[in-house]
Structure 1
Amino acid sequence: MSAADKASKSSTGNKDPMHGLTLEAMVTALADFYGWEELGQRIAIRCFQSDPSVASSLKFLRKTPWARAKVEGLYLFTLREQARQRQQRGA
């Protein structure tokens, strides 16, 4: 089960997919899903393009609100797309 699945199935029943999810979990999930190269293409920031790592990305994203917003937006988009694909397969 991915970090996104765990977050969406929280014991509080909260429908917010971001509830209880850390920035580290989002970056890790995106890097695992897209890979660093594609992630760097989707969000053109140096911490994803040049010698990328979760640690260096977190350091930058915690200090840069606009970049963090882009990561959060891509994460939410990815969740919606995955849900849509699962729904299409099940239909």
Structure 2
Amino acid sequence: MQHSNDPLHGKTLEAILNELVTHFGWEYLGETIRINCFKSNPSIKSSLTFLRKTPWARSKVEQLYIKMLKRKY
């Protein structure tokens, strides 16, 4: 059985976003990744809709998630 070294393997965008919000909060996310869905009336649903349509923003979220994981361990 092989295990993937990719920290995103098996993680949904929703799970990643929930972990980031729990760990950092919306305010930090809005300051770090400057997108309106994190700043103005933030919600998981609206953020997921935007991130699924916007590859550059999704990439920034995934990069922040990987940095968060590296700091935890």
Please state which band the TM-score falls in when normalised by the shorter chain. over 0.9
2: distance between equivalents of 1:60 and 1:12? 33
| TM-score, length basis structure 1 | 0.76
Find the partner of 1:66 among 37, 56, 61. Answer: 56
What secondary structure sits across from 2:17 in the alignment?
helix
Corresponding residue number in structure 2 for 1:45: 35
| C-alpha RMSD of the superposition | 1.2
Aligned-residue sequence identity (percent) comes to 53
Q: Deviations over 1:17-64 (max 9, x none)?
A: 111100001110000000101111111100000000000000000000
Corresponding residue number in structure 2 for 1:88: none
Corresponding residue number in structure 1 for 2:9: 19
| TM-score, length basis structure 2 | 0.94
Unaligned residue ranges in structure 1 (runs of 5+):
1-10, 84-91
2: distance between equivalents of 1:49 and 1:27? 14
Unaligned residue ranges in structure 2 (runs of 5+):
none
| Larger RCO of the pair (alpha carbons < 8 Å, separation 6+) | 2
**Max radius of gyration: which structure?**
1
Number of equivalenced pairs:
73
After TM superposition, the structure 1 stretch with the greater mean CA deviation from structure 2, 67-76 or 13-22, is 13-22
